[in-house]
C-alpha cells in the first residue's frame, strides 16, 4: 500500500514547518463546521478517501500536528475546498485574503 504522506526531517525545517502549518490551517478553513481536531480529522479523511486509497483520520491528525507533509494531490483537493485564493498565503505570507 502506498503511503499518503511523506515524513521529512526536522533539520532546517523553517520553511517546511511554515508550509505544514499553512496546510493545517487550510484544513480548518475548508471545514469550518469542525469543532475539534478529532472531528476535523474524520471529515478530512472521509473527503480524501477514494476506492483505491483510504486516508485515515490518524494521518490527518499527523498533518494537523505538522508531523508529516501531505502529498501534493491532497493539498490540491483541500485547497479547492478552502478556496484557491489561499495559495497566495503560502507564496507571500504577508498577503491576507
Q: What is the mean pLDDT of residues 76-84?
A: 87
Residue 33 in domain: yes
Residue 16 in domain: no
Residue 12 in domain: no
Total domain count for the chain?
Answer: 1
Tens digit of pLDDT for each residue in 29-76?
999 999 999 999 999 999 999 999 999 999 999 999 999 999 999 999
Residue 46 in domain: yes
SS3 of 11-58: CCCHHHHHHHHHHHHHHHHHCCCCCCHHHHHHHHHHHHCCCCCCCCHH
Residue 2 in domain: no
Q: Please state the pTM of the whole predicted model.
A: 0.75
Residue 15 in domain: no
Domain holding 37, by residue range, is: 23-91
Crossing angle of helices 72-82 and 14-30, in 10° steps, is 50
Residue 27 in domain: yes
Residue 86 in domain: yes
Amino acid at each position: 500500500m502506498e503511503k499518503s504522506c511523506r515524513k521529512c526531517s526536522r533539520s532546517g525545517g523553517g520553511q517546511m514547518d511554515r508550509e505544514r502549518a499553512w496546510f493545517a490551517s487550510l484544513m480548518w478553513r475548508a471545514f469550518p463546521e469542525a469543532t475539534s481536531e478529532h472531528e476535523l480529522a474524520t471529515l478530512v479523511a472521509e473527503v480524501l478517501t477514494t476506492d483505491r486509497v483510504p486516508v485515515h483520520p490518524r494521518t490527518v491528525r499527523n498533518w494537523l500536528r505538522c508531523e508529516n507533509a501531505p502529498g501534493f494531490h491532497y493539498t490540491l483537493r483541500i485547497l479547492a475546498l478552502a478556496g484557491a485564493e489561499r495559495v497566495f498565503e503560502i507564496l507571500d505570507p504577508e498577503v491576507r485574503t
